[in-house]
Chain A
Amino acid sequence: QKEVEQNSGPLSVPEGAIASLNCTYSDRGSQSFFWYRQYSGKSPELIMSIYSNGDKEDGRFTAQLNKASQYVSLLIRDSQPSDSATYLCAVSTKNYGGSQGNLIFGKGTKLSVKP
């Protein structure tokens, strides 16, 4: 069974701090990695994608990928109360045709940023 694991949290950080969210996955063949943000009662919103080892930065967000360790992380710098949400890690997996069309989602980490 292919799995994506995340700590459920809640992860509580003070405003202005760095929030670090982690994710591990079991499928060594996975090629694409995504972070989604989901506010309570809303649908998931894509915030970051990463495909190769290393770091990828976008504004206050940095995604990190280590395929050898099967580990993905998301750093949020200068955390704001508006960042309070559940963050879902998603990893691509092969479908029946052999392409990486499907995603496996972790159950999410709930982040709370305290003013």
Chain B
Amino acid sequence: DVKVTQSSRYLVKRTGEKVFLECVQDMDHENMFWYRQDPGLGLRLIYFSYDVKMKEKGDIPEGYSVSREKKERFSLILESASTNQTSMYLCASSLLAGAGNEQFFGPGTRLTVL
């Protein structure tokens, strides 16, 4: 089974702090994704990566950056956390682009910024 893990289930940070969210997958997947999920807004793509050291902006990249130094690990960074970044953050991975590109999700990190 695909396993995607995230570093924390719950996180509370202060406004202005730098926040690191880590995601690790153990199935040698090429593609990794970061989403946030908010009530009424659904899943929104923040950043994605199709290869090591490669990153592409999603629909809402402002205020975030990412790092992919190893194939299995994809980190989301909030450079200076703000209260409007309080959300559920979900990491996903998929094997290949193209048909059969189902994404598998980690358990999520519920981040609260005070």
Chain A residues within CB distance 8 Å of chain B: 31-32, 34, 36, 42-46, 49, 51, 88, 90, 92, 95-97, 99-103, 105-108
Dominant SS among interface residues on chain A: loop
Q: Are A31 and B99 in contact (CB under 8 A)?
A: yes
Q: Are A43 and B101 in contact (CB under 8 A)?
A: no
Which residues of B lie under 8 Å from residue A45 when comparing CB positions? Answer: 105
Interface size for B (C-beta < 8 A) is: 24
Q: Are A32 and B31 in contact (CB under 8 A)?
A: no
Chain B residues within CB distance 8 Å of chain A: 31, 33, 40-43, 45, 48, 50, 56, 90, 94, 97-108
Dominant SS among interface residues on chain B: loop
A51 touching B105 in the complex, CB below 8 Å, given contacts A44-B90, A101-B50, A107-B40: no
With most chain A CB atoms within 10 A of its CB, the pick from B41, B90, B103, B107 is B103
Q: Are B107 and A43 in contact (CB under 8 A)?
A: yes
> With the chains together, A34 CA to B99 CA distance in Å?
11
Partner of B97, one of A36, A90, A100, A106: A100
- Min CB distance B23 to A, Å, is 12
Partner of A97, one of B50, B103, B104: B50
- Min CB distance A91 to B, Å, is 11
Q: Are A105 and B100 in contact (CB under 8 A)?
A: no
Which residues of B lie under 8 Å from residue A31 when comparing CB positions? Answer: 98-99
Q: Are A107 and B31 in contact (CB under 8 A)?
A: no
Which residues of B lie under 8 Å from residue A99 when comparing CB positions? Answer: 97-98
